[in-house]
Amino acid sequence: MTSLIERAGLAALHKIDPETAHGLSIRALRMGLVPLPGPISSSRLKTDLAGLALPNPVGLAAGFDKNAEAVAQLMRAGFGFIEVGAATPRAQEGNPRPRLWRLTPDRAAINRFGFNNQGMEPITKRLAARPQGIPVGLNLGANKDAADRAKDFATVLAHAGAHLDFATVNVSSPNTEKLRDLQGKAALSALLAGVIETRDTLARRIPVFLKIAPDLGAEELAEIAEVALESGIDGIIATNTTLSREGLTSPSPSDQGGLSGAPLFEKSTRVLAQLSKLTEGKLPLIGVGGVGSAEQAYEKIRAGASAVQLYTAMVFSGLSLAAEIARGLDALLERDGFASVADAVGTGRDAWL
């Protein structure tokens, strides 16, 4: 449950510009002002994700800690794994502000950041200094003005790979012009081949995941599943934010940018279930989009996910949500007689097809 202190902090943050508030939340974490529960685990919650040993299957999605500034603290926040970034080879400002909006009545957000980050060098230095503990991964991005965007993903992996437990190829952000074009079959095959080739030069083999958009038709999803199975990647993250404004009850503050949060839950879960069917259990899937409760995390798992990630729901419920979901998920697994997360994966998939 959200504590009185956390509720007061959230109320104060919601009175100021959301991007400024986000920066303050990262600073508060780093200063030790946020209570952290430490690891949350049980025999039921322990999960193998593409060879990663997770204490629980509740992860932090990329974007919350873009520059890996609060990794040590986030590792103690109750998550089973965390993902930082996206990181690009060179630092970039991203799109002009305002570029983040809270939609409180919908428990949603819209962002059009455009891969703003400090670049791979300072991010890698911080990752190299992090403590041991839960798996930490990096979301790989491409510079907006890169002559060869596909090469940028491999460049970041080559630079940071020695300090990662996994890496994610992000070709699904809606906020970098033409980035989603890299989800096409030929372009995606070539991009992933370069990333896998780079991964295979690292001293330690790490899993590589692919993060896809929710705004894909059946034929496009089938192509992505085919490429993913052929490419040698280790899993798919479904999904990133959506360009659709479907499900909003409040007016959209921007027709550009990606919508995340509660309205994305059904759309992203349908994509997840379709991917689960297309890949026939041969690749682990990570369910992202609108997860705000243990019940919703459980629904993603039953639709085909081996693990889940959250972000936007914490804007409204606080960082304690991660531990709350993990504990609630443990209770749901016990209630339904599942000895592990793996036993529950895909058991409710057909309801989403």
Catalytic residue positions?
173
Beta strands in 29-91 (DSSP E): 47-49, 52-54, 58-60, 81-87
- Cα gap 87→80, rounded to integer Å: 22
Residue bearing tokens 């039953």: 302
SS3 call for 352:
helix
Q: With contact defined as beta carbons under 8 Å apart, do 230 and 268 qualify?
A: no
- Cα gap 338→267, rounded to integer Å: 26
- Cα gap 227→238, rounded to integer Å: 15
Helix crossing, 218-231 with 185-199: angle to 10°? Answer: 30
Q: With contact defined as beta carbons under 8 Å apart, do 121 and 159 qualify?
A: yes
